[in-house]
Structure 1
Amino acid sequence: MKPLLPLEEAQERLIAMAQPLPSETIAIGDALGRYLAEDVMAGRDQPAADMSAMDGYAIRFEDRDGPWQLVGECKAGSPPCPAILPGQAARIFTGALLPEGADTVVMQENVEPDGDNIVLTSDPSPVKGRHVRFQGGDFKSGDVSLKAGIQLNAAALGHAVIAGSGSVSVGRRPKVAILSTGDELVAPGTDTKPHQIPASNDVMIAAMLSQLPTITRCISRIKDDLDSLCEALESARDCDVIVTIGGASVGDHDLVAPAFKRLGGQTDFWKIAMKPGKPLMAGKLGNSLVLALPGNPGSAFVTATLFLVPLIRYLAGAQSYMPVMQTAQTSTVLPATSQRAEFLRAQLVDGAIAAFDSQDSAKLSILAAANALLFRPPHSPEQPVGAEVSYIAI
């Protein structure tokens, strides 16, 4: 019997089959969730000039003990007010440019009027430069504001704009077709007979991809018929990735491999040393990458987490695309493992992680209650309560 492919090798081989997609330049307002294809360089200093960080009074530090003659008012969004001379101060508001001669701001709560002047009350020794945002204090023109390969979140978009960008170069969104197979599948919400199951896997996998920059279409509930499956695969050839769910094993009605072969597909690997998810298959059909996931929901979710999601990230231009492993202490005893890596549905609570007693791949109730996949390497010894283990947050 051919040995099962180790998990890490399978992940590496899948990525080796792919190439990041070409980039495109889009408006900054359309770039949420996309991966940067090029560094974003700052086109301006931020702040562009020295400005106040508080409502208060702009003074010369040399005159820090006051009193000061009030000679002007500086507002945000206005050109700088006239220069101040020794012994003078200007009323200033947050975001306003410092007048020439000023280098410090005294908070308005720390002064009070005295005739035509203002005097210091509760802060007799202000620090030079206090409450001032100095030119270029955040970044300077020419600095790398955002590095290629990061995913653009709301804060990153704001940063790109303040750095002077109105558009960004990002990786193109992969086109993904999701094909769910099985005579037993019926549409969500349909009344089911005992031999039928609502088609949940394509909804679940599509939801996972919705958090990534993809263009996804579902070709759902394909019958266990070789001609029907071939027709569905042919219809998806325009996609960068074709994901099949179910029918990837070796039963009489598992037709993904025969259909793939009939259409001239090239299988790269099949059967992984992992649990759940052993019957995973990957290959190429023309220009499309094909990833065949198992049909049990737990298996489909785990293999999508470990293979499909990293593949999409890589194609879309992510610099870091593999799942992030974290560590926690187990609150339950973990039995020894065999030759397969295991991913146990688990709950992480207050820094401690506990695997569910049942790991049946068909139980969506367990998957829905889980917030982590607890990783057990192959050939691991039993782990006692309190042992440090690795997990992927889900």
Structure 2
Amino acid sequence: MCAVQFVDVLGVTSAITAIPAMLTGVSASPRATPVVATVYAMFFGGLLVFGARLGDRYGHRRVLLAGIVSFGVVSVVGATAQEVVQLVTSRALQGAAAAVSVPSALRLLLDAARGDADGGDTRRRAAIAAWSATGAAAGALGLLVGGALTDVFGWRAVFWVNVPVALLLVVAVRALVPRSRTQVDATRLDPVGAVLMIAAVMALILGASLAEDAHRRAPGGVLVAVGLALGAAFVATQRRARDPLVPRAALADANLRTGTVVSFVNTATTSSAGVLATLLMQQRLGVSAVGAGLALLPFSLSVVLGSALSTPLGARLAPRPLAALGLGGIAAGNVVLAATSGSVAGIVAGVAVAGTGLGIASVAATAVGTDVPDALGGSATGLLNTSAQLGTALGVAGLLVVAAAAGTATAWAVGAAVCGLTAAALLTRAGRGAPVAG
């Protein structure tokens, strides 16, 4: 299951490095860069909850296989693209296929980690840590793999490589993942809710992406407002719908609400920190694009470290205090960045500290957010991933605006404050009992 996470994350980051070569290869203007770079995230983030509900409705093993096969097929479309429309379509469909497969992969991983009361919690923490570490490793390797494939074989190899990998994953899932004995959810899917949620998330992600550019902040702000309005309409319809896309019990579950908030804050404050660090190094410190990428490599490596540390820490702390500890690490990393932003060494140190905190907080957020009744498991995985996607989009856009108005150090300080306040809120609500599942 972690391999599915690895491939999907690798597909995002490896393609980003190849975008200039892609546009040249299909004779497209560089002005198409934002569309090609954003469309995957739009469809991935927009369809995650719907993909999770498909797993609940038709079985997570079946939906996972469908998502993997679809990812491989649409990669062929990208590899053979002759026009920019084909390229954009392929990236969009890759995002949709990943949105179908990721929630089911996480749900199946958590199901496999279940066990008796003595060992089940430990296995569950280890499984979640492996999931988080795999995503971080793929994020780090993706930039290197994408650049290497493009330089040696051309940009089409970034798409072609997904085909044999998808075939191997299909074989592995069919051989190693047993058919679930859990009865599928027979309730019908909510088409109105699905359309509203997909449109809301897509508008928010696209609007936030546009808002990152000072010349496009007005239309970006309008799209964000539209996304928020659609989100409000979605919530209203879910309260009245006979078979809501997100079960009402999920909206009322305290663990799931906590997990989604922490997931949002995690990505909002770390993705923005990385983007701000990259811009500062290239624009003010004279570091090359390759050098900036290498300087941020410790971030991904430290996420792996933090994920590994979360297993022994989780044996001593309940998920909420563990999440607060991780958020404290992210806050500390942002403080280091704000205090030492005039040097590359300071940036490397800051992102390493923040990455360690992110590894811990990500595992804790997933642990508490998926500690829900079995009937809500699919919805939980979809909502947690959607929250993380929105955190990245809105966090980067928001703190870029702060940086433009008040400076990069102030933006990092705001990120630290958000983490600190969230951690404090978690600690005030955390119980003093023994660690719960997760």
TM-score by length of 1: 0.21
**Which structure has more helix as a fraction of its residues?**
2
- If asked which structure has higher relative contact order (CA below 8 Å, sep 6+), I would say 2
TM-score by length of 2: 0.19
